[in-house]
Chains A and B, each alone.
Chain A
């Protein structure tokens, strides 16, 4: 499709979207009224800058179904973001949305040349997390044989890989390296297996990791991108050229803005990725600020696909950490610590990558009055904090007690995170 044709479709879709959200989602009607915009002002895709942004906070505040644009009976499936406190981000799908998701995920798998002859070992987690079912629907759509093994249970993963001769693997990049390590320990050679391509996402990774994955697993490693707020995986994906991620812009319209001025950056400059769902029915989203930093790649891709490409992610505009696929904000950790006796709400997070898996150490200060001269009691405090963090955030963290007032205080922005991962 030529850029002109794409734009004309996008324009038509945006006009309908603006009208739909104004009429059916009170949140967007209010926001548009505040900006003095009416659906009639939106005549083409160029008018998108007139529409309001949506932030993660907006999505939390409208939890659980405040952004619904259809009658609740039309919703057939709900997913939420992974591991967040009380209010996760919700994506509610109509039957058409599941169809759309299947379509964009089929395209994603098609990027790796998968067909109905392929066998997909899907090691993304199944459940409220979007990874597992997203890949599942895509594999079903292309008629591939999907092995819905979900995450973890590494020895079994390797047995299934061998026995069912999977040709494609989907999981987080760090888990894939862990899998490679366990395989090596068990004398399993990937060169003896049938894997030809892997689709990896849900956490940051680098070219260096890609090289390592490709060498160890003897396959082509593709970077896939998506987020619960938009649909889950299936927003953008690399093709076998591995030269940027094609954004499925006929459904997800991308902008790149300066996060301070909120204006579009100049062509090819890096900035914050903003996405509008052009065709989603259940929870359509206007101009979602992803906080992910990237830039549009120029020129056309050698694969011949015309969808615009973005560079692999360069970082984030906020302090969100992704630990083993779970998104964590330091503020969430703070909230948990605030409600625990015996410790002060001062903390520092140390993230390491040990044997390809991320580890999180939470250093907290002992409350001076709680010091009791007994090792057992202090260790109990540590276990208690670990348990609370696990309950609230779904993460395994190691808690380390520090002396009161030993964690650096600073005016304004404290240095809360020490990220030693060499990604």
Chain B
């Protein structure tokens, strides 16, 4: 049920983000979501793409430091209280969120929340019966 997120290590240097995007564009890889985090020295770029395995391969070929991270995607209706309801279940399940971000679906009135937990397996185990819509790789990436 977990999905594959691509994480790229970026040193703090002008043009580095553009370099990544150029590689993706050249290889027809489509972005579904993007989240950039930074410290004072470096950044980590997190991507949800339509072809994660291929994305990993081409970024590595282009000398980027890349890793695949397992995250969980949960779909919620795009109205107020949507996130709150999900967070309540996570809190009750005693799961710690490492980080999260969200994007809005193009063709539906839904938002997709991406969660990173310490272990995606354990999180899915604890959340699967909570009436949450946990998305599969296929549905997130091809929508």
> Nearest chain-B residue to A406 (Cβ)?
B11
> Given A401-B11, A403-B11, A406-B11 in contact, is the A371-B42 Cβ separation under 8 Å?
no
| Contact A366–B44 (Cβ < 8 Å) | no
CB distance from B64 to the nearest CB of A (A): 8
> Nearest chain-A residue to B12 (Cβ)?
A400
Q: Which of A368, A378, A402, A406 contacts B39 (CB 8 A)?
A: A378
Q: Which of A371, A379, A382, A400 contacts B9 (CB 8 A)?
A: A371
A189 touches B (CB below 8 Å): no
Scoring B residues 102 to 125 as 1 if CB is less than 8 Å from chain A, else 0, what string do you get? 000000000000001000000000
CA distance A401 to B39 in the complex (A): 11
A5 touches B (CB below 8 Å): no
> Given A402-B11, A403-B9 in contact, is the A373-B67 Cβ separation under 8 Å?
yes
CB distance from A124 to the nearest CB of B (A): 34
> Given A374-B98, A400-B41, A401-B42 in contact, is the A368-B11 Cβ separation under 8 Å?
no
Beyond contacts A371-B66, A373-B7: 15 other A-B pairs, Cβ-Cβ < 8 A, are A366-B65, A373-B5, A373-B44, A373-B67, A373-B116, A374-B44, A375-B37, A378-B44, A400-B11, A400-B41, A400-B42, A401-B11, A403-B63, A404-B65, A406-B11
User: Which residues does chain A contribute within 8 Å of B76, judged by CB atoms?
Assistant: none
B30 touches A (CB below 8 Å): no
Number of A-B contacts (CB under 8 A): 48
Sample of 27 A–B contacts (CB below 8 Å)? A366-B9, A366-B65, A371-B65, A371-B66, A373-B44, A373-B67, A373-B69, A374-B44, A375-B38, A375-B39, A378-B39, A378-B42, A378-B44, A382-B41, A400-B11, A400-B42, A401-B11, A401-B41, A401-B42, A402-B42, A403-B10, A403-B11, A403-B64, A404-B63, A404-B65, A405-B63, A406-B11
User: Which residues does chain A contribute within 8 Å of B2, judged by CB atoms?
Assistant: none
CA distance A396 to B63 in the complex (A): 32
A261 touches B (CB below 8 Å): no
A372 touches B (CB below 8 Å): yes
User: Which residues does chain A contribute within 8 Å of B65, judged by CB atoms?
Assistant: 366, 368, 371, 403-404
User: Which residues does chain B contribute within 8 Å of A403, judged by CB atoms?
Assistant: 9-11, 63-65
| Contact A379–B11 (Cβ < 8 Å) | no
User: Which residues does chain B contribute within 8 Å of A406, judged by CB atoms?
Assistant: 11
